[in-house]
Amino acid sequence: MLKIGIIGCGKIAEVRHAPEYDENPECELVAYYDVNPERSQLLADQFGGRVYDSVEALLASGVDAVSVCVANNMHAAVSVQALDAGVHVLCEKPMATTPEGCREMVDASERAGKRLMIGLNQRFAKAHARAKEILDSGELGTVISFRTNFCHPGPEGWTGKLDTWFFDRRIATFGVMADLGVHKTDLIHYLTGQSVVATTAVLGTLDKKMPDGSPVTVDDNAFAIYTMETGAIGTMHVSWTDYGSEDNSTRIYCTGGVLRLYDDPEYSLIVETPDGVERFALDQLTSNKEQTSGGRTATGVIDAFVESILTDSPSIADGTSAVHAMDVIFANQLSSELGRSVRLAEEA
Ligand SMILES: NC(=O)c1ccc[n+]([C@@H]2O[C@H](COP(=O)([O-])OP(=O)(O)OC[C@H]3O[C@@H](n4cnc5c(N)ncnc54)[C@H](O)[C@@H]3O)[C@@H](O)[C@H]2O)c1
């Protein structure tokens, strides 16, 4: 039985990590740490286990693995500390706030011989997994272009705080481009089996305000045009200002037809070809809305992490693949600052 600790006991720990560990028969939640001890105590009361008063004390308690669910600016430091202590790490996205931080995490994992996984849960959604099988089979030919969107009303609804740290550049470092864009960039890498080789991006702060009326200090909308290795081209729009129904959809346009993913309220996967249309109701993506409605969709991330430890093999959201998506996010920031296209080699 794997002994699990959680470092950072906020919203994502409460609604995804802790319940999914609790449901996995191969592991036991035994340890929690948060700079705010009330948060760690709440999880211990609900799921069992002990509260510790420092990261060091938690890591010395005999845990096999930890989830790192702190704010963005501490992901790399806490993950490296845990790996150096010989503990497997599942770190939330965005992986780290600098390219060096991402690579230090991978290096620490290799040095320690311990698993490093990043919470890129879009890879585990059923329609995405099926789409990957279809694309890999070649039955739709090759990818010509795509568009992928991730737009919701913003993180203040998720955290329940109008002045959430997600809006504070000193803690979040990034805005929506990294917060939501890393999910969709990674998804495009995963589905197409190709890397983004060039990007033209624009990041903007268009509407989000702090409670005092001042604009937030990070981007609330971001747009990118991606060129892939084969020359396929696609767009990504991520937004924290979709005040209607959320848009978490992707379309992949291939030589033999079109894949529509989470693009229809009823059918999570639609395959359109010149011969006809096939519709599949596989699942719904995890969303911020379900947290307020009381429902919960398992992400599959925790089960994959536990399995990757038990089998000593990389999961499909291993740290090494997450670095590539982060490199594109850093290139998007550079492109927006420079006002021109950026090739990924420039960023590396
Ligand atoms: N995979 C996803 O789709 C997804 C969704 C939401 C959030 N996230 C990520 O999860 C992380 C946490 O987000 P959240 O929504 O839970 O935020 P949150 O503010 O609800 O929780 C963060 C917690 O970390 C604690 N904390 C901060 N610094 C700490 C430190 N140095 N040591 C210990 N505890 C510390 C805070 O007190 C807080 O309880 C973020 O990086 C976010 O991007 C991922």
CATH of the domain at 308: 3.30.360.10
From 89, 121, 153, the end of a domain falls on 121
Nearest-Å Rg of the Cα atoms of the chain is: 20
**80 & 126 share domain:** no
pLDDT at 347: 53
Residue among 6, 9, 11 whose CB has most ligand 1 atoms within 8 A, to mutate: 11
Question: What angle separates helix 319-338 from helix 181-192, to the nearest 10 degrees?
Answer: 120
Name the maximum alpha-carbon separation found in the chain: 62
pLDDT in tens, the chain (348 residues): 999 999 999 999 999 999 999 999 999 999 999 999 999 999 999 999 999 999 999 999 999 999 999 999 999 999 999 999 999 999 999 999 999 999 999 999 999 999 999 999 999 999 999 999 999 999 999 999 999 999 999 999 888 889 999 999 999 999 999 999 999 999 999 999 999 999 999 999 999 999 999 999 999 999 999 999 999 999 999 999 999 989 999 999 999 999 999 999 999 999 999 999 999 998 888 665 554 445 566 889 999 999 999 999 999 999 999 999 999 999 999 999 999 999 997 654
**76 & 139 share domain:** no
Name which residue sits closest to atom 29 of ligand 1, judged by CA.
Answer: 70
119 lines ligand 1 (CB under 6 A): yes
pLDDT at 285: 82
pLDDT at 293: 43
pLDDT at 292: 43
**189 & 170 share domain:** yes
pTM over 0.75: yes
pLDDT at 348: 47
pLDDT at 287: 61
Cα–ligand 1 centroid distance for 67 (angstroms): 11
**Number of C-beta neighbours around residue 118 at 10 A:** 33
67 lines ligand 1 (CB under 6 A): no
Domain that includes residue 87, residue range = 2-121
Counting from 1 in the atom list of ligand 1, the atom nearest the Cα of 286 is 3
**59 & 153 share domain:** no
pLDDT at 130: 97
**177 & 111 share domain:** no
**Number of C-beta neighbours around residue 25 at 10 A:** 7
**104 & 207 share domain:** no
What is the phi-psi region of residue 300: left when phi exceeds 0, alpha when psi lies from -120 to 50, beta otherwise?
left
72 lines ligand 1 (CB under 6 A): yes
**193 & 315 share domain:** yes
| CATH at 50 | 3.40.50.720
**210 & 244 share domain:** yes
36 lines ligand 1 (CB under 6 A): yes
pLDDT at 159: 87
Asked if residues 93 and 120 have their Cβ atoms less than 8 Å apart, the reply is: yes
**190 & 316 share domain:** yes
Cα–ligand 1 centroid distance for 37 (angstroms): 14
**271 & 162 share domain:** yes
Cα–ligand 1 centroid distance for 178 (angstroms): 14
92 lines ligand 1 (CB under 6 A): yes
Asked if residues 119 and 92 have their Cβ atoms less than 8 Å apart, the reply is: yes
Least Cα distance to 344 among 329, 333, 328 occurs for 328
**44 & 157 share domain:** no
From 72, 102, 121, the end of a domain falls on 121
Cα gap 232→30, rounded to integer Å: 47
